[in-house]
Structure 1
Amino acid sequence: MKIVKVEAIPFSIPYRKPLKFASGEVRTADHVLVRVHTDDGPTGVAEAPPRPYTYGETQESIVAVIDKIFAPQITGLSALEREAVHERLDRTVGNPTAKAALDMALWDILGQAAGMPVSGLLGGYTKRMRVSHMVGFAPAERMVAEAERVRDTHGITTFKVKVGRRPYTDDVEACRALRDALGPQAELYIDGNRGWTASEAARALREMADLGLTFAEELCPADDVLGRRWLVAQSPIPFIADESATRAAEVTRELLGGSATAISIKTARTGFTASQRVLHQCEGLGVEVLMGNQIDGQIGTLCSVAFGAAHRSSAQRAGELSNFLDMSDDLLTEPLSITDGTLRLREGAGLGIDIDPDKLARYRQDI
């Protein structure tokens, strides 16, 4: 299974409505389809979603680094030589989503060659995951309407609420409105995308103390080292590290430094190989994990559920697997479907990604 060709295909699909949050907003899925071809048949497929406001990558930079640096370095290696592949990729700093997509494409090849689903190769714990939906910035009544629509249509009862606005009172109002509308049975947690100071976050959490929030995520910038430690030390709810913990060394720093008590795993930035290392690290430390969302399309969501469903600890919590619902279209031949608040794995070998050639021709940006 020698690697003979690597493709990085930029494509663009509009969202029906923008997702707004403290560090930016997304109106169009300007992603990159990554395909790794081998000499004896299997082709691995994954998706790289650039997030310049978080990791510095753009659609153009992902295509360039794969075409000009990564593809020449890994062509000729076997798809089985994953450690050798990562050694070569890691000679270049940064570029996490480009590296992650290549890693997941290699796992897709291995699954196809073995005649097994990738989730089975990774651990095979379950066939489905409960789904959490992210609710972006909007007036409180619109956020409630979105949550109710998603609940009534797809059976989702876990919601991640984007906060971090100034004044924070808008976010407190929205969270209170969501709790009132959805009732005590709904699970709510908040994500600040680094939008508040530690003192703002502490005051907001005090004002929401009666709402039964499950988690708080990245309320302050990672560089606010002492402020984050002070905030986490006084919080009655677990704090999730996300953008501040993008690789194993950062996970160690955040957990042992007291800046977080839980970890968000995103296959879009750590692939399957590094995500598994982070997962096992958290298991060894007795720290909860949940599957995060990089505002993935359906391809990326398939990767997330494959990993999340593979492991007992990552399957315990609802995974953030629904934001593709806001995209106007996608590249899969058979679209994903969320039913009764859960998303099932695809049957068959590999990741089960089947690209519609007509849709790819319509949305790709390089021809």
Structure 2
Amino acid sequence: MKITQVEAIPYAIPYTKPLRFASGEVTAAEHVLVRVHTDEGVVGIADAPPRPFTYGETQAGVINVIEDLFAPHLIGSSVLEREVIAGHMGRTVGNPVAKSAIDMAVWDALARTLGVPMTDLLGGWTDRMRVSHMLGFDEPAAMVAEAERMRDSYGIATFKVKVGRKPFHLDTAVVRALREGLGDDVELYVDGNRGWSPAESARAMHEMGDLGLLFAEELCPADDVLGRRWLVQQCDVPFIADESAVTPADVTREILGGAATAVSIKTSRTGFTYSRRVHHLAEGLGIEVVMGNQIDGQLGSICTVAFGAAYRSTSQRAGELSNFLDMSDDLLTEPLEIHDGHLAVRPGPGLGVEIDEDKLAHYRTDR
């Protein structure tokens, strides 16, 4: 079970429509497919979705750090030595997406070698999760129409609404339109991507106080220490730390410092190794957990559901698992399907998915 090769393959797949939110806009999935080969012929896979406006990583940067810094230390390591591998990568500051893709590909190689599904290896709590769909910036009528389509076509009944525009009334009007259009049976929560000030956030939350929101996420800047603490005191719903909680240490700081009361776990940001640490930390602190989305494709989404389904606390809430529906194509041989508002884990060894080599050849950008 020794690692013999690490591949970092850039590719680009257009979205059917731009995804717009307070911290940026995405028109194509310009990701990096990571493959970890072993001496037994097993290949573990994972996806790295760079988000330069959030973590500073670019597609080229992910490739460079994997090929130049991480891969040389991985070659010859056993896929059982996940802590050793994490320790080597931890010597390099930042680069969470690149580190996470390698980590998950190593876990996938291990699970495939053992012949067990990833969810079972991680914890095996359940075999599926409820799905939450992210709604990006648009006019109220268009966002209501999209939500209705997701509910009618896929049975999705939880929606994460991107907010953070100025004036904030643009977004509070959207959320009100969604509540009025979809009814009280649908779960709604808001994500500001740090777009508002604490004062704007408090006023917006007060304006939406009668809409039965489930959560509020990262409404104001992550480095506004006092403002965030003050804002949390004004909110009567759990306040999710996301971009401000990249590492377990960040989670500890945000929660104990009073700047958040819940946390988003994104496997594309903390892999499986560090996502487990965040999960255990959240359990110890008694805070709610939501499985987040890094605007993932199908490979990233299956990683998220594999982890989320493995534990009770991460499977309690709907996970952000549907952004691949906005992509014009994907790389998997068997596309993921959402039924009755749920996404199931794949039953085969590891992540249970395979890459379509013809599609990869078509969309890769290094040839």
Relative to the length of structure 1, the TM-score reads: 0.99
Match of 1:61 in 2: 61
Distance 1:353 1:3 in 2: 20
Deviations 1:314-345 (A, max 9, x none): 00000000000000000000000001000011
Structural mapping, 1:4-15, within 5 Å: 4-15=4-15
Distance 2:32 2:234 in 1: 41
Match of 1:162 in 2: 162
Does 1:192 find its partner at 2:187?
Answer: no
Q: Give the drift of 1:180.
A: 0.3
Match of 2:328 in 1: 328
Structural mapping, 1:269-288, within 5 Å: 269-288=269-288
Distance 1:140 1:96 in 2: 34
How big is the alpha-carbon RMSD for the aligned residues of Structure 1 and Structure 2? 0.5
Deviations 1:278-329 (A, max 9, x none): 0000001100001000000000000000000000000000000000000000
Secondary structure of the residue aligned to 1:46 is strand
Structural mapping, 1:102-181, within 5 Å: 102-181=102-181
Q: Give the drift of 1:83.
A: 1.1
Distance 1:349 1:29 in 2: 26
Match of 1:76 in 2: 76
Q: Give the drift of 1:353.
A: 2.1
Q: Give the drift of 1:270.
A: 0.2
Distance 1:237 1:269 in 2: 25
Per mean C-alpha deviation after superposition, the further-off stretch among 157-166 and 83-92 is 83-92
Q: Give the drift of 1:265.
A: 0.1
Match of 1:248 in 2: 248
Distance 1:159 1:82 in 2: 35
Distance 1:84 1:214 in 2: 39
Distance 1:169 1:214 in 2: 19
Distance 1:215 1:156 in 2: 17
1:97 maps to a residue whose letter is V
Distance 1:237 1:118 in 2: 33
Secondary structure of the residue aligned to 1:212 is coil
Deviations 1:152-200 (A, max 9, x none): 1000000000000001001010000000010000000000000000000
Secondary structure of the residue aligned to 2:53 is coil
Match of 2:319 in 1: 319
Secondary structure of the residue aligned to 2:181 is helix
2:232 maps to a residue whose letter is V
1:30 maps to a residue whose letter is E
Structure 2: where are the runs of 5+ without partners? none
Distance 1:234 1:26 in 2: 32
Secondary structure of the residue aligned to 1:352 is coil
2:146 maps to a residue whose letter is E
Distance 1:309 1:169 in 2: 37
2:286 maps to a residue whose letter is G
Match of 2:217 in 1: 217
Deviations 1:238-296 (A, max 9, x none): 10000000110000000000000000000000000100000000001100001000000
Secondary structure of the residue aligned to 2:210 is helix
Distance 2:223 2:91 in 1: 26
Distance 2:168 2:344 in 1: 37
Distance 2:54 2:223 in 1: 14
Distance 1:298 1:132 in 2: 15
Q: Give the drift of 1:57.
A: 0.3
Q: Give the drift of 1:110.
A: 1.1
Structure 1: where are the runs of 5+ without partners? none
Secondary structure of the residue aligned to 2:6 is strand
Distance 2:293 2:54 in 1: 13
Distance 2:196 2:47 in 1: 31
Distance 2:344 2:82 in 1: 27
Distance 2:205 2:126 in 1: 35
1:160 maps to a residue whose letter is K
User: After TM superposition, where is structure 1 displaced by more than 4 Å over at least 4 residues in a row?
Assistant: none
2:97 maps to a residue whose letter is T
Q: Give the drift of 1:42.
A: 1.0
Structural mapping, 1:331-342, within 5 Å: 331-342=331-342
Match of 2:183 in 1: 183
Distance 2:310 2:86 in 1: 22
Distance 2:179 2:142 in 1: 14
Distance 1:48 1:256 in 2: 30
Structural mapping, 1:6-25, within 5 Å: 6-25=6-25
Distance 1:277 1:193 in 2: 24
Match of 2:346 in 1: 346
Distance 1:235 1:148 in 2: 28
Relative to the length of structure 2, the TM-score reads: 0.99
